[in-house]
Amino acid sequence: MSTAPANATPSDYAAVYRRSLEDPEGFWLEAAAAIDWIEPPTRALDDTAAPLYRWFPDARMNTAANCLDRHVAAGHGARTAIIYDSAVLGSVEHISYAELTERVARFAGMLRARGVGPGDRVVIYLPMTPEAHVAMLACARIGAVHSVVFGGFAARELAVRIDDARPKAIVTSSGGIEPSRRVEYLPAVAEAVALAEHTVGTVVVKAREGFATSLQDVRAGVGSGTQWLDWDEAVAQAEPADPVPVAATDPLYILYTSGTTGTPKGVVRDHGGHAVALAWTMANIYDVGPGQTMFTASDVGWVVGHSYIVYAPLLVGATTVLYEGKPVGTPDAGAFWRVAAQHSVRSLFTAPTALRAIRKTDPEGALAHEHDLSGLKTLFAAGERLDPETQGWIGDLLGVPVVDNWWQTETGWPIGANPVGLTALPVKTGSCTAPSPGYAVQILDGSGQPVEAGTEGNIALRLPLPPGTLTTLWGDDQRYIDSYLSAFEGYYATGDSGLIDEDGYLFVMGRTDDVINVAGHRLSTGALEQALATHPAVAECAVIGLADPLKGQRASGYVVLKSGVTVDGEAGAAALLDELRAAVRSTVGAVADFKQVAVVDALPKTRSGKILRKTMRQMADGEEHTVPSTIEDRSVLDALEPVLRAGR
């Protein structure tokens, strides 16, 4: 599927990138040949409703058939589609393409029998089990639009999404399993259904052993209006459903991301552009093809899970690892290495936060040496900025290229990455390497003018965005325009700041909210964090800008130490803090005026691994704030609050 020659050179990347911008019509029509079409596209881009663009407007296809049926028809039904590795249960299951196709067809038939059809929405609230793949692909098979909500979300947040998506059905489970507890899903789902103004017709429940609340308990405690079904019983009675042809421009899924007003934004992804873009990335960025194994250590509730646990590997006939566990604690910091070795993983994709957690627990990387990782070719990281210290540590430990790739829920696939399947470009630590073909990346100043190479500014993407990116926000085109397309005319505003250096390498420094102004000097908190991370005792860190009556803002740092690092008394603590301040001064300079730094036990994060810097800043400044519903552990933020307030 790759368009690159076997002996690709950096000039090949430059030529491919240039063509993707100069001839997007021809470029993406060629890429579309990797997909099976019911009605092939005769043109790529429809710009008649700009700035709302559509890709492959005259084509028809089915995403599930491209992920499943075509591989079975080609004689690959016995190939493993999913390796379900549950570290919390201590079990492994291999599911073939033929078996997965049968499961999806039957579940699709069950949904269809309950009145779910093309364009109808289905909310999926499941743990990391094969039922997530089945439910998502079953919706795609019959043209329904799925909206996956991270299992364990609070009932009120789930109700908000129900009212926005207005689903005909919800698919859920008894619960999720964490290293130290079990999370009951059914009480939250029942409460959400009761809270929502929209009436959900059907709730399908996959029973799991060991949970306190059963389907019978829920049925007895809820009113009429919603039918609660047992997954196994309902599917056993269903007739398999064939794939339904849909327009390439029809919505495949809605994925909610946080909105600045507190109201979630439903990112809409289409069928055709999504399939074409993801298939292209598997060949050209991730270097994974038919029969090879990709392990994406994320969650299906996030965009990384949608793209690279579920859809992309199956689109190209690869094997995807569905891992139910944590980077540490199930049972130890060697969990990822065990999975990679046991399943002959070629490409491992995780979040920098997970790598930092592994490093904190096993700073010498001893557990990695217990496994044969000779089959691992590349480690990819996305979700948070990959700091140079962590990048260097994991690269030295594994002896493979460590590729930082940067993207967003809205884009669905990397804006910037090292396209190792096309051309393995030289690595620059701290950079996500180069803009991906299709993305016209520009660095703009506050007035929307391009800046010189090496100058930090607003990262923006010239329209149109490539296939596979969001087409709009669910039910609200104007909100999409206002949120993303109004800051700079003709551009999508990413909300991130960064720079492109003289060699064309892209450096993402953080959210534009995280740029602080100290006595007239604009400083990136990413650069300050990068300096702190160079200290050998630091596992991870965060820097925020606090209000200062004299200088406008001042930088305040919070560091978590590696496991095994001890500080001897007040004198030792003072010496460590002096060393941290000196690290910032030597790297960033005196203009940072960096004095305030504290050692903390942990940093508050979302479930996807993003540090809640904005919430930390608001709490420290005594501002009104709302704790995001995506927070992983509220107790971490509560424990940090006195430290934040003490720094005011």
529 sits in which H/E element:
helix 525-532
In the predicted model, is pLDDT for residue 290 greater than 60? yes
The Cα 327–Cα 348 span in angstroms is 12
In the predicted model, is pLDDT for residue 627 greater than 90? no
pLDDT digits 0-9 by tens, 208-243: 999 999 999 988 777 668 999 999 999 999 999 999
Q: What is the pLDDT of residue 4?
A: 41
pLDDT digits 0-9 by tens, 501-523: 999 999 998 776 666 767 556 67
Residue type, 5: P
Share of the chain above pLDDT 70, in %: 95
In the predicted model, is pLDDT for residue 178 greater than 80? yes
The Cα 251–Cα 274 span in angstroms is 10
User: Before 40, cis peptide (omega within 30)?
Assistant: no
Sign of CA dihedral 566, 572, 578, 579: negative
Q: Which string of DSSP letters, residue by residue, matches 314-343? A: HHTT-EEEEEES-SSSSSSTTHHHHHHHHT
pLDDT tier, 6 (very low <50, low <70, confident <90, very high otherwise) = very low
In the predicted model, is pLDDT for residue 582 greater than 50? yes
Those residues whose C-beta lies under 8 Å from the C-beta of residue 164, and which sit 6 or more positions away, are 256, 264, 266, 474, 475
**φ and ψ at residue 232, rounded to 5 degrees:** -65, -40
The Cα 23–Cα 16 span in angstroms is 10
The Cα 5–Cα 612 span in angstroms is 43
Beta carbons within 10 angstroms of residue 257's beta carbon = 16
Q: Work out the average pLDDT over 9-27.
A: 90
In the predicted model, is pLDDT for residue 69 greater than 70? yes
Q: What is the pLDDT of residue 624?
A: 80
**Cβ(388)–Cβ(356) below 8 Å:** no
The Cα 418–Cα 401 span in angstroms is 10
Q: Work out the average pLDDT over 555-579.
A: 89
Q: What is the pLDDT of residue 610?
A: 78
Q: What is the pLDDT of residue 198?
A: 95
Residue 119 CA, distance from chain mean position: 25
Q: Where are the beta strands (DSSP E) in 311-418?
A: 319-324, 347-350, 378-381, 402-404, 416-417
**Cβ(141)–Cβ(117) below 8 Å:** no
In the predicted model, is pLDDT for residue 410 greater than 60? yes
Q: Angle CA(466)–CA(475)–CA(607) in degrees, nearest 5?
A: 70
Average per-residue pLDDT for the chain: 91
Q: Which string of DSSP letters, residue by residue, matches 608-620? A: TS-B-HHHHHHHH
> Which neighbouring-strand residues pair with 460?
442, 493
pTM of the model: 0.84
Share of the chain above pLDDT 90, in %: 72
Q: What is the pLDDT of residue 381?
A: 94
Q: Work out the average pLDDT over 384-394.
A: 87
The Cα 286–Cα 296 span in angstroms is 11
pLDDT digits 0-9 by tens, 270-287: 999 999 999 999 999 999
In the predicted model, is pLDDT for residue 248 greater than 90? yes
In the predicted model, is pLDDT for residue 176 greater than 90? yes
In the predicted model, is pLDDT for residue 48 greater than 70? yes
pLDDT digits 0-9 by tens, 309-349: 999 999 999 999 999 999 999 999 999 999 999 999 999 99
- Structure-model confidence comparison of residues 155 and 119, the more confident one: 119
Q: Work out the average pLDDT over 617-640.
A: 84
The Cα 286–Cα 417 span in angstroms is 9
Q: What is the pLDDT of residue 7?
A: 41
Q: What is the pLDDT of residue 3?
A: 41
Q: How far is CA 441 from CA 102, 365, 461, 497, in A?
A: 42, 36, 5, 12
As a dihedral over the C-alpha atoms of residue 234, residue 239, residue 245, residue 251, rounded to 10 degrees, the angle is 0
